[in-house]
Chain A
Amino acid sequence: DTGVSQDPRHKITKRGQNVTFRCDPISEHNRLYWYRQTLGQGPEFLTYFQNEAQLEKSRLLSDRFSAERPKGSFSTLEIQRTEQGDSAMYLCASRFPPKEGRHEAFFGQGTRLTVV
């Protein structure tokens, strides 16, 4: 397994368009996370899944954002009607469930979104 994979690496879109990002986690990990990061800031939590169940969404996640993990493997993050403020790096991470006592997260390389 080569780690967490994200696609695309870069996306430029016009304001008002919809975009979708994909994340393939490490196969043994049932936890999958989405974060957003802007310049000079740390990753900001958006949402997470345990298997196919979405267990928590940040209050910062507007209705324009939706995430899915339909079969408990890969996940998609969709942003509808993009705004310039959505420009950021979108990071995906996966990890083992907490009960296994392994708490480190493994991140993908991110998808850099630019809304023009």
Chain B
Amino acid sequence: SQKIEQNSEALNIQEGKTATLTCNYTNYSPAYLQWYRQDPGRGPVFLLLIRENEKEKRKERLKVTFDTTLKQSLFHITASQPADSATYLCALLSGGYNKLIFGAGTRLAVHP
């Protein structure tokens, strides 16, 4: 069956360090992979999209990689700040690009 896996344990890092979150998937061949941020009690907010023919994408302090051979995406936040503390969700476009399928998310806590 199709599955998207993200680290279920919270990631705790020190302010200023780089946070790296992992998303692994099985039984998918996604053309697109997306990352969202979700704060408690609020809806997810789109951050970045990467296409299958792109190895890496950057946006300000964010960087996403996409390895279709390993079936894995890595999400990096450089120079992390306490305001980056949130849950980060990985999502794949499925069903002819018609719907997003989400992983369970990884909670990031950045400590001052």
Q: Is B46 an interface residue (CB 8 A)?
A: yes
Tell me if A56 and B99 are in contact (CB < 8 A): yes
Residue numbers of A with Cβ under 8 A of B are 4, 33, 35, 40-45, 48, 55-56, 91, 93, 98, 103-110, 112
How far is A103 from B47 in the complex, measured between Cα atoms in Å?
Answer: 12
Does B100 sit at the interface, judged by CB under 8 A? yes
Are the CB atoms of B34 and A103 closer together than 8 Å? yes
Contact call A55/B98, Cβ cutoff below 8 A: yes
A10 → chain B closest CB, angstroms: 10
Using CB atoms, name the residue of chain A closest to B42. Answer: A109
In the complex, residue of chain B having the shortest beta-carbon distance to the beta carbon of A104? B46
Q: Which residues of B contact A (CB under 8 A)?
A: 4, 6, 8, 32, 34, 41-46, 49, 89, 91, 93, 95-105
CB neighbours (8 Å) of B96 from chain A are: 98
Chain A residues, CB < 8 A from B8: 40
Within 8 Å by CB of A103, from B41, B42, B93, lies: B93
Decide if A41 touches B104 in the complex (CB within 8 Å): yes
Question: Is the CB–CB distance between A103 and B49 below 8 Å?
Answer: yes
Please give me the residue from chain B that is nearest to A98 by CB atom. Answer: B97
Q: Are A43 and B97 in contact (CB under 8 A)?
A: no
Inter-chain contacts of A107 with B (CB < 8 A): 43-45
Cβ-neighbour of B104 out of A33, A42, A109 (below 8 A): A42
Q: In chain A, what residue has the closest Cβ to B93?
A: A103
Q: A48–B93 Cα gap in the complex (Å)?
A: 14
Q: Is the CB of B46 within 8 A of A106?
A: yes
Q: Give min CB distance, A88 to chain B, whole Å.
A: 13
Q: Shortest 10 CB-CB distances between A and B: which pairs? A: A107-B43, A42-B102, A98-B97, A104-B46, A42-B104, A43-B102, A107-B44, A110-B43, A109-B43, A42-B105
